[in-house]
């Protein structure tokens, strides 16, 4: 059983935290990942910095820019994943990427490198199912879960095609548009969860726009198996670029508040983690 499958079999709902690798630099990025893990995230989603992140809103786009300006390359991302894997041996790690990064490296090499670094899944934001003939078999060869993305606007026919190649879990986009914090979520999340649930036995996690304990509560009430928080955590990094201690305190506080909605008084559960300073 993969780490992702084992997590969802053991715990429901799960909390998925998102960070951009190399934001604002490699060393700080690693410390941010460790803080998120210590705060209790169940799965870490790590974005590979990209110059044209079309699915991302301004907050995460600026994080991509900071990471690229700091010299973050795909090799640096794999190095970060290896360090996170050493820190938390059993924690599932998913790479969030755009297909041009995979294409330039070569699909087989990219998935081989991801597996060797310790990644469990890859989410390719901009790759249509009709064009995944190279990526899908490469992921299977190297034991990497292909995380499917399904939006509110995805037709039933496309949902079925997308789910045929999916593994790990399904990422449900809560709203139309790009990533970013929102004041309120769509009232149709429960309908989306229910519709996709009819077509797959995979766990369903909801992301895009989730930024508060109230949002987490709404997603769980809609029947999701997981909650994904991205822009709200990236904002805490951006707001405290000159105050790293404050950055880590803010991340711990925000993650703790959202985790308490999932399971009141929940303690961080970090199976297999070895304590490493720095």
Domain containing residue 99: CATH number = 3.20.20.70
Enumerate residues 6+ apart whose C-beta is below 8 A from 5: 168
- 116 falls within a domain: yes
Q: Which is catalytic among the residues 42, 45, 61, 181?
A: 45
pLDDT at res. 175: 61
- 26 falls within a domain: yes
- 136 falls within a domain: yes
Compute the distance between CA of residue 91 and CA of residue 42 in angstroms, rounded to an integer.
7
pLDDT at res. 87: 98
45 a catalytic residue: yes
Total number of domains constituting the chain: 1
- 270 falls within a domain: no
Q: Which is catalytic among the residues 23, 42, 56, 61?
A: 56
- 142 falls within a domain: yes
- 268 falls within a domain: no
Compute the distance between CA of residue 101 and CA of residue 96 in angstroms, rounded to an integer.
11
- 87 falls within a domain: yes
Compute the distance between CA of residue 143 and CA of residue 120 in angstroms, rounded to an integer.
8
Radius of gyration from C-alpha coordinates of the chain = 17
Domain that holds residue 128: 3-262
pLDDT at res. 186: 55
- Find the DSSP H helices in the chain: 3-10, 26-39, 58-69, 74-87, 99-105, 107-117, 135-141, 156-164, 189-197, 213-221, 231-239, 244-262
State which residues of the chain have pLDDT below 50: 177-183, 265, 270-278
27 a catalytic residue: no
Compute the distance between CA of residue 172 and CA of residue 177 in angstroms, rounded to an integer.
13
- 272 falls within a domain: no
pLDDT at res. 110: 98
Compute the distance between CA of residue 5 and CA of residue 266 in angstroms, rounded to an integer.
21
Per the CB < 8 A criterion, the answer to whether 109 and 63 are in contact is no
Segment holding 170, helix H or strand E: strand 170-173
Compute the distance between CA of residue 243 and CA of residue 225 in angstroms, rounded to an integer.
34
Per the CB < 8 A criterion, the answer to whether 185 and 210 are in contact is yes
Per the CB < 8 A criterion, the answer to whether 13 and 40 are in contact is no
Look up the pTM and report it.
0.91
Compute the distance between CA of residue 188 and CA of residue 237 in angstroms, rounded to an integer.
31
| HSE of 73, CA atoms in CB hemisphere, 13 A | 4
pLDDT at res. 278: 31
């Amino acid at each position: 059983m993969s780490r992702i499958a084992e997590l969802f079999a053991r715990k429901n709902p799960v909390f998925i935290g998102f960070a951009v690798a190399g934001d604002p630099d490699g060393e700080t990025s690693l410390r941010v990942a460790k803080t998120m893990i210590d705060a209790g995230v169940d799965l870490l989603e790590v974005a590979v910095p990209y110059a044209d992140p079309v699915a991302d809103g301004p907050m995460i786009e600026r994080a991509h820019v900071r990471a690229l300006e700091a010299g973050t390359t795909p090799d640096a991302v794999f190095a970060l994943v290896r360090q996170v894997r050493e820190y938390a041996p059993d924690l599932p790690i998913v790479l969030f990427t755009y297909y041009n990064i995979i294409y330039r490296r070569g699909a087989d090499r990219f998935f081989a490198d991801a597996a060797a670094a310790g990644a469990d899944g890859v989410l390719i934001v901009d790759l249509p199912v009709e064009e995944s003939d190279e990526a899908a078999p490469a992921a299977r060869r190297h034991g990497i879960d292909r995380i499917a993305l399904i939006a509110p606007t995805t037709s039933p026919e496309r949902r079925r095609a997308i789910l045929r190649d999916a593994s790990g879990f399904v990422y449900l986009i809560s709203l139309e548009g790009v990533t970013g914090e929102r004041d309120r979520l769509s009232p149709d999340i429960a309908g989306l969860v229910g519709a996709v649930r009819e077509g797959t036995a995979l766990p369903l996690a909801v992301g895009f726009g989730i930024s508060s304990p109230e949002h987490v509560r709404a997603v769980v009430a809609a029947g999701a198996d997981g909650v994904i928080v991205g822009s709200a955590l990236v904002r805490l990094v951006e707001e405290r670029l000159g105050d790293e201690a404050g950055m880590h305190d803010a991340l711990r506080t925000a993650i703790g508040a959202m985790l308490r909605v999932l399971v009141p008084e929940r303690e961080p559960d970090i199976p297999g983690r070895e304590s490493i300073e720095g």
